[in-house]
Amino acid sequence: VRYRDWRWQALWWHHFFLLWNTIDGQTRYTIPEELKQGSVVGPLAKDLGLGLSEIFDRKLRVASEAGKQYFSVDTGKGELVVNERIDREELCGQRASCVLPLQAVLESPLQLHRIEVEIRDINDNAPIFPSNHLYLKIAESAAVGTRLLLESALDPDVGSNSLKSYTLGKNECFSLKLKEIEGGKTVPELFLEKLLDREQKAVHNILLTALDGGNPVRSGISEITISVLDINDNIPVFEKNVYRVTLPENSAKGTVIIQPKATDMDEGLNGEIEFSFESRTPDTVLNIFDINSLTGEIILKGDLDYETNALYGIDITAKDKGTPEMEGHCRVQVDVIDVNDNAPEIVLNSPPSPVRENAPNGSVVALISARDLDSGDNGKVSLQLPKSSPFSLTPSFSNNYALVTRGALDRENFSVYNIEITATDEGSPPLKSTKTIPVSITDVNDNTPIFSQPSYTVYIKENGIAGSILYSVSASDLDLGDNAKLSYSILDSKVQDVSVSSYVYINSENGSIYSMHSFDYEKLKVFQIQVQAKDHGSPSLSSNATVHVFILDQNDNAPSVIYPSSAVHGSLSQQRTSRSSKAGHLVTKVTAVDADSGHNAWISYRLAEATDASLFAVNLYTGEVRTKRAVSEQDDSSQRLLIEIKDDGDPVRSTTVTVSVLLEDGLHEPILDLRHKTDDSHKKTGRMALYLILSLASVSVLSLVTFLILAVKCLKSSRSSGSCCMRRSDSEDYKNPNRNLQLQLNTDGPIKYVEVLGGDMMSQSQSFRSCLSPTSEYSDFTFVKPSSTTDFKDMINVLDASLPDSTWTFESQQVSIKPGQYTTY
């Protein structure tokens, strides 16, 4: 453009000097550019002083020195008009004034007039930016005051219509500054007013407007896009500073506990986060937890145990990949929740000590404690004992207990208690454990020795060998050791005024009782020994038992003849009898006694030899010698009879007596000898008879009373049983000492021998009966026999009617007798 301007100017100056000679006046017009074709520029003809006819005649025309003919002359009116659009900017560019020189040419005569047309600028151009969209980049870290050069706008118009100012669209960070460059020109610049933050606004779009000074104002717009370049200026940030997780201690491996989230506002690598544990994380955490570096998930990889570690603090780092890298932190707090995974434990703090069986309530046996590794309710332990246990637990301080006795102990029942203690915690479900504590009970001498029987009954034959074993008693003691070790002894008592220890002794070790004597039934029939068994405890305990020794009769005595008394001396005893005696006449009566008893004393008489066996007969039982027939004159006056007297023992013992009988004429008092003898004894007999009567009377009364009591008892008990038994406790009468009566009678009376036993004798285990034959032949024969050795069933008889009172008549109903029990007939 400049080049063109310059050429155009040169040309113009050449024409100007050429024309200057021919032109006398100068005409100048001013028009705005861009007029329409035909627009009148000025009255050229008039200004040249030409009339209308001259215009045509002289052929007025204009010629442009430039190539283009922008103007022409209207031949009708002689006005200069615009021939072509005129663009000032094209013609004159940025020059301040734009004048087009013209020549008005007149012919005949040739006349040249110089005409100037000044083209005035109008604001027909808007400012224009070289590019309407400008892309810029700026670092996020750019400091305040940073400038960014922008493009200048161009406006071809000149003067006031040219570019005048710029305005910047509204924004926070930038302002517009103009920078002057050479030649007084200015360039717009962006000025950073405030720090940028990509994370807040990554792209700034601003409109730059260029304005000219025309009226109306024209503008040009350029859009500026500024991209803020990221700087790693943001640390990764966790959503929370502290994450809390509760985790049951039995959580499975592989469980994802938590995923802490972190964000980094930067972009690209600056915003890429990698998770890790803090570098100083202890092994206790590393062994149990793992972290996913990409996602940040924390994973359980080990076993949790509330009891070893209930709380974990895990420091997590989130790191971006920028340069320099930036990191953020958070803490994950893992609270392990207790699960009832530990059974309670019972601990024996002191070994159980043996307890005496008489230990009072509350004696301490052992100290125990309970513990549970769990916590809270899971660790609360309670202990239980079986309800029946004679022990209890006394709590002392925190979970410590004393095992104490609570009830009576008995070593004889349980020598060892296995105390089962159950511990239960309060978890859900509760866990249990048991422990058995053996507690041994030590013996206390609390059991007396006990004899195998409360009393013993021993039968021994008389005439035994001294030093032989009478009996062996035995006692037992439930205690242990010395408390059960027994010694036997015999308690001193008198037997027939002699100390019992002179009769027997006892083996203190085993209770065997030895006789020190040979016993004679005829002297001692029964005696009692009190034996004592004593243990070796301290204090010792003892118990007593009674041994009843019954001496059994042996047939060791031959019958001895009492009458005729001379027979004792072996001399002949003379009996006289009258020749006039009839058959059956009592000649004499042989009386013998046997010191033995029972069968051994059951005497029978037999005529062994006789001068005339046909004349006399001896009664087998009474010993009466009677005539068999009437004595005749032919009978020898001196008769000799040999009478054998036998007892019923085994072996039989016998004795003989020789009786000589003198047959005399007219003898009326045949037994003078006897009378004389009986005279003497009559007084005795009288007294004896009186005693006997009194005794019998008293016995009878007693018997009657007894009988009545029995009768009442029998009536009462007959409904339930057929037997009529009377026990010792029922019969007070038998304790009556009056019953301890023994009578022996030797008379011609109906009773020859009566033995009445009672009182203490009767209270022995043996009962005795008095049996009297019902027939007259047996009436004066009495025997006494221990009932247990003989079956008396057949021999039970009724007392002879000759007794003053027959109340002794009882019916036998039961024969077997137990010790300590009576049977009354």
Order across the sheet with 26-32: list the strands.
Answer: 26-32, 111-120, 99-106, 61-64
Of the residues 507, 723, 775, 789, which one makes contact with ligand NAG according to CB under 6 A: 507
Which of positions 265-324 make contact with ligand NAG (CB under 6 A)?
A: none
* Per-residue DSSP letter, 153: P
Contact 177, 188 (CB under 8 A): yes
> Please, which residues have CB within 8 angstroms of residue 723's CB and are 6 or more apart in sequence?
813, 814
* Per-residue DSSP letter, 579: T
Considering only CA atoms, which of 794, 792, 746 is closest in space to residue 769?
Answer: 792
Closest CB 476 distance from ligand NAG, rounded Å? 13
Establish if 697 lies at the interface with ligand NAG (CB under 6 A): no
Local structure of 409: helix, strand or coil: coil
* Per-residue DSSP letter, 581: -
Closest CB 406 distance from ligand NAG, rounded Å? 5
Cα–Cα distance, 278 to 363 (Å, whole number): 61
Considering only CA atoms, which of 486, 488, 523 is closest in space to residue 503?
Answer: 523
Which of positions 596-615 make contact with ligand NAG (CB under 6 A)?
A: none
Of the residues 164, 321, 406, 628, which one makes contact with ligand NAG according to CB under 6 A: 406
Length of the chain, in residues: 825
Nearer to ligand NAG, 410 or 522 (CB): 410
Q: Could you count the other beta carbons within 10 Å of the beta carbon of residue 648?
A: 17
Stretch that binds ligand NAG, among 157-165, 227-235, 340-348, 504-512 (CB under 6 A): 504-512
Which of positions 778-807 make contact with ligand NAG (CB under 6 A)?
A: none
Nearer to ligand NAG, 487 or 619 (CB): 487
Cα–Cα distance, 427 to 413 (Å, whole number): 39
Closest CB 448 distance from ligand NAG, rounded Å? 7
Stretch that binds ligand NAG, among 1-9, 126-134, 152-160, 407-415 (CB under 6 A): 407-415
The identity of residue 653, as a single letter, is: R
Provide the CB-side half-sphere exposure for 263 (13 A, CA): 4
Closest CB 546 distance from ligand NAG, rounded Å? 10
Nearer to ligand NAG, 447 or 457 (CB): 447
Closest CB 782 distance from ligand NAG, rounded Å? 37
Closest CB 349 distance from ligand NAG, rounded Å? 24
Encoding tokens for residue 383? 């202990």
Residue facing ligand NAG at closest CB distance: 410
Nearer to ligand NAG, 495 or 620 (CB): 495
Considering only CA atoms, which of 376, 439, 443, 356 is closest in space to residue 402?
Answer: 439
Nearer to ligand NAG, 21 or 538 (CB): 538
Nearer to ligand NAG, 503 or 602 (CB): 503
Stretch that binds ligand NAG, among 163-171, 326-334, 506-514, 636-644 (CB under 6 A): 506-514
Show the CA angle centred on residue 49, arms to residues 45 and 55, nearest 5°. Answer: 40
Closest CB 367 distance from ligand NAG, rounded Å? 20
Cα–Cα distance, 676 to 166 (Å, whole number): 200
Encoding tokens for residue 32? 């705005």
Bridge-based pairing of strands 638-646 and 604-610 is antiparallel
Local structure of 238: helix, strand or coil: strand
Site string for ligand NAG, 194-233 (x = CB under 6 A): ----------------------------------------
Q: Which residues pair with 322 in a beta bridge?
A: none
Total residues contacting ligand NAG (rule CB under 6 A)? 16
Nearer to ligand NAG, 51 or 454 (CB): 454
Closest CB 760 distance from ligand NAG, rounded Å? 17
Contact 452, 531 (CB under 8 A): no
Which of positions 454-483 make contact with ligand NAG (CB under 6 A)?
A: 472
Nearer to ligand NAG, 410 or 733 (CB): 410
Phi/psi for 73 (5° steps) reads -110, 130
Burial class (CB in 10 A: 0-12, 13-18, 19+), 234: buried
Contact 84, 64 (CB under 8 A): no
Stretch that binds ligand NAG, among 123-131, 226-234, 402-410, 780-788 (CB under 6 A): 402-410
Cα–Cα distance, 281 to 326 (Å, whole number): 19
Nearer to ligand NAG, 232 or 532 (CB): 532
Cα–Cα distance, 746 to 591 (Å, whole number): 9
Site string for ligand NAG, 332-371 (x = CB under 6 A): -----------------------------x----------
Nearer to ligand NAG, 441 or 645 (CB): 441
Closest CB 475 distance from ligand NAG, rounded Å? 11
Of the residues 75, 281, 433, 512, which one makes contact with ligand NAG according to CB under 6 A: 512
Phi/psi for 484 (5° steps) reads -110, 0
Establish if 386 lies at the interface with ligand NAG (CB under 6 A): no
Closest CB 410 distance from ligand NAG, rounded Å? 3
Cα–Cα distance, 293 to 273 (Å, whole number): 9
Which of positions 160-189 make contact with ligand NAG (CB under 6 A)?
A: none
Closest CB 756 distance from ligand NAG, rounded Å? 30
Nearer to ligand NAG, 466 or 652 (CB): 466
Closest CB 537 distance from ligand NAG, rounded Å? 14
Closest CB 489 distance from ligand NAG, rounded Å? 10
Establish if 331 lies at the interface with ligand NAG (CB under 6 A): no
Establish if 410 lies at the interface with ligand NAG (CB under 6 A): yes
Distance of CA 240 to the CA centre of its chain: 46
Site string for ligand NAG, 532-571 (x = CB under 6 A): x---------xxx---------------------------
Distances (CA, A) of 719 to 232, 307, 716, 722: 124, 82, 7, 8
Of the residues 205, 396, 413, 802, which one makes contact with ligand NAG according to CB under 6 A: 413
Of the residues 38, 407, 584, 749, which one makes contact with ligand NAG according to CB under 6 A: 407
Closest CB 544 distance from ligand NAG, rounded Å? 4
Closest CB 518 distance from ligand NAG, rounded Å? 19
Contact 144, 158 (CB under 8 A): no
H helix count then E strand count, the chain:
7, 55
Nearer to ligand NAG, 207 or 408 (CB): 408
Nearer to ligand NAG, 410 or 805 (CB): 410
DSSP for 333-380 reads EEEEEP-S-S--EEEESSPPPPEETTPPTT-EEEEEEEE-SS-GGGG-
Establish if 510 lies at the interface with ligand NAG (CB under 6 A): yes
* Per-residue DSSP letter, 614: T
**Chain contacts with ligand NAG (rule: CB under 6 A):** 361, 406-408, 410, 413, 472, 491, 507, 510, 512, 530, 532, 542-544
